[in-house]
Chains A and B, each alone.
Chain A
């Protein structure tokens, strides 16, 4: 997880090119072994049990190890052992970059230090990020206002992207103004802390998300493809509602809507979500009553 964010930093600082980063990440992915796979390899779990935990992860916001322990598939000690095998995946990125001659070990190490300084990270925070702590990574990625208003939402979205759609996905704050894209899916969350939530994507990326979530190849944005992306947003928002309810805030959702060629107008917070098949945007506003769409829709937004 950290590799995607640190790799982007290396790219932004011109340490490496986009092609070199893609190449190194591809290598890293090829050697990165997932938690469930290690658990099977170690003989702790059966493939069916791993599948059951993955299914459960689509319903509740919990880590693989946590669910596996709850279901009695793993002990706490086994989880710790497996985690230590999985940590430090950024070392594979370092290995890939150095082996290919894109960077020296010294340059990589210096870049890590620069990243830590530029982000004013404590040793503890940085260590947690390197070990794949997604909450720390997202806190570091969002600005102050973003963390304050949308931190919990975006952290969960980053997790659900990895769980449902693309395990290499990473996010960054977008500075783009009025985003116009081929397809927009939106859903309002109502209650004490209302939220406008939307996914804005090009047709290609929309179809990619739709196909992955529907578990079948979809080649045109028909009713099924629209329902698939809308359901992904709905599932994510549902888990968010459960989390918020557990923290004492009851919220409700409005039905999702899918519209073509629409722009979201009004003050909103935009997140670029990078997947292996392209970028889409997550658009959020804590003042849904001020959000309008252009062209305007027949149905009311709030």
Chain B
């Protein structure tokens, strides 16, 4: 049985999307959508109203920080988890200031995804 969370994966790399999807499926996420840049992710968030977005930072067209800002403006209840290979303190600070839920370092491991999804499920249960 699924965990009822809907998730958007936003990354320009098809490899990362594939690996992240596989990890999310192992965490029993059933409703998973993919976006290859920030613009597509923003549209998906409007359309699907997901619980969680996994957002890459460095992307063509619209990068992850800009997309985070727009998502926070339009649907502040969405939990946006930033994922980057460059987990510098500056990136982390900027992301949290803009309202990101969390920040994970790439390559994204199953353990990191499991922890985040577990934390979100727990919070959702407490909110009910």
Binding site for B on A (CB under 8 A): 52, 55, 58-60, 213-214, 223-224, 227-228, 230-231, 234-235, 237-239, 241-242, 245, 250, 252-255
Contact = CB atoms under 8 A, between A and B. Distances in A.
Interface of B: 12-16, 18, 58-60, 84-90, 105-107, 109, 111
Contact of B59 (A55, A228, A255): A255
A60 B111 CA distance: 16
A250 B106 contact: no
B8 to A, nearest CB: 19
Contacts of A227: 13-16
Given A227-B16, A255-B59, A59 B88 contact: no
Residue of B15, B90, B107, B111 with most chain A CB atoms under a 10 A cut-off:
B15
14 contacts: A55-B109, A59-B87, A59-B107, A213-B15, A214-B15, A224-B15, A227-B13, A235-B106, A238-B87, A241-B85, A242-B87, A242-B88, A245-B90, A252-B58
Contacts of A213: 15
B68 to A, nearest CB: 16
Closest 7 CB pairs of A and B: A238-B85, A245-B88, A238-B86, A241-B86, A227-B15, A227-B13, A59-B105
B16 A231 contact: yes
Nearest to B60: A255
A242 B16 CA distance: 20
A241 B60 CA distance: 19
A250 B88 contact: yes
A255 B90 CA distance: 18
A168 to B, nearest CB: 22
**B16, B58, B85, B88: which has the most chain A beta carbons within 10 Å?**
B85
A230 B13 contact: yes
Contacts of A235: 85, 106-107
Nearest to B109: A55
